[in-house]
Amino acid sequence: MESNLLINYQGVEICRDENIILKNVSLEVRKGEFLYIIGKVGSGKTSLLKTMYYEMPVWEGQARIFNYDLRKIKRREIPLLRRKIGIVFQDFQLLIDRSVEKNLQFVLKATGWKDKTAINNRINEILTQVGMTNKGYKMPHELSGGEQQRIVIARALLNSPELILADEPTGNLDPETGSKIVQLLHDISDNGATVIMTTHNYQLVQNFPGKTKKCEDGALIEVM
């Protein structure tokens, strides 16, 4: 795989419970690219992302991400793969019983960080990056939807992943807040990370242009 090619899918088939969701998927994503995957709800966008962090296996075709062959990946390699990926979910999935800071501490400790000063410095750094300085003490329910999504993006960025997968990150947000989140993701891409964002909001794609593919009728097609 060429050095700047992060994802290379050729002739991939994606199935759930023996139902084919997407077939003959070919996709190449390079370092630093911003890619939209658009399509109706239920068209296979989320399933495609799930194969990338091995939540769903790939049964057919060639599928490589980083230097991992998703057809042959070993169980012990899956956590190493996932550590290179930051995931932004539509429904936030923050731990509601602890503050923003404690949510972020939890992730860092779970991924091997031990030094308290380093942990606190990293959290401050990342909260500044997503425009949430001074919100570390707040509980998730004290934040607006847009603020919660910024914390989710902060969480995804903690370990400086090379790839961010954002699954309908504006789905629960009003248009203005959604635009700010997409702008933030574009800024992250401009700083060198690769970002793949699924959406069924075509207006966002027009307002913030990027390379675009579409899930339609069981296929992934190029959008001109």
At 94-120, the pLDDT tens digits run 999 999 999 999 999 988 899 999 999
Residue 39 banded pLDDT, cuts 50, 70, 90:
very high
Q: How far apart are CA 167 and CA 169, in angstroms?
A: 5
Query: What is the pTM assigned to this prediction?
Result: 0.93
**Strand-pair partners of 60:** 13
Question: What does the pLDDT read at residue 4?
Answer: 87
Question: What does the pLDDT read at residue 1?
Answer: 58
Break the chain into its structural domains and give their ranges: 97-160
Q: How far apart are CA 186 and CA 95, in angstroms?
A: 26
Helices (H), 1-44: none
Q: Helix or strand or coil: residue 196? A: strand
Which of 35, 5, 10, 36 has its CA nearest to residue 23?
Answer: 10
Strands (E), the chain: 5-16, 19-30, 34-38, 60-65, 68-69, 85-88, 163-167, 194-199, 211-216, 219-222
- Residue 9 DSSP symbol: E
Helices (H), 53-115: 78-83, 100-110
At 136-168, the pLDDT tens digits run 999 999 999 999 999 999 999 999 999 999 999
Q: How far apart are CA 98 and CA 105, in angstroms?
A: 10
Residue 2 scores a pLDDT above 70: no
Which of 49, 36, 39, 83 has its CA nearest to residue 189?
Answer: 36
